[in-house]
Structure 1
């Protein structure tokens, strides 16, 4: 097993961050809360599924930092503007979701069935983190109560589920093609 280098980690993080930024061009406005259906939230989870928790976290942080000055969000918004509005929680979720999804995904067994089940759980956990953070943001920034804030997620369940299925399929393909991407630490006794 070979160790990954800092340059390799930086390249992975940069590529996934660029992918997430490019996906800002895919946006469908939905609902009164002003939160669009975007591909970015699935790509953020895909980063965690493929890269693991640590590198997934770095993708989320780099995305957030770049977005402070550049229009990286759907509709040409900056993360600075989003952090000041009702979508602030989702931006926080973009940082935490790939870390959570990646921490779970990188515990997957090498067999196909176990890998698939683990990636499904990881992706659902990542999406749940986004929804919880988004709901908290709606409560804090829009003054919604708990139930309406969580109810605001309902229009996104079906499209987000479809996007997550695609992310899982992509992650399974990547891990099948590059089985050493998930570095297994040798146990010493």
Structure 2
């Protein structure tokens, strides 16, 4: 057994010397592993590693905290400020809008509200042309001193009230009007 004991790959170990050379190699390795290399202090080595890890962890923690403080200063404060500003603007707009007078709704009723008492006058049914303007319709009604009490219905019939003493004159005037297709007293 003059050959030196050096570790070989496992495929060479089994091919060269068999079980005896493996046992000798294992014994040599165990002997080498029980002694530290010259000039190596394991406790000092582990102490340096532990200090490096602890220092890196503490630095990482401090850097992370500083990064979060910076993000908070850069992101959260402006976001909260924007939200509060938007809320204040909304309240201000609602307060100003509530104090402003609303424009009146323009509703132009074509019929008037019926009075509480008995109707004074005669009710006529009038059918106007479909293509007349509202101003022409009003002029025709003004000519006979009539007021609209209903209409137009689904058939286009308007119910108007004229004074009782002017019923015949109103019928003739409306029948002669080119805007009127049909006029008759209400049954």
Fold-level similarity (TM above 0.5): no
Relative contact order, CA 8 A, sep 6+: which one is greater? 1
Q: Could you tell me the TM-score, scaled by structure 2's length?
A: 0.19
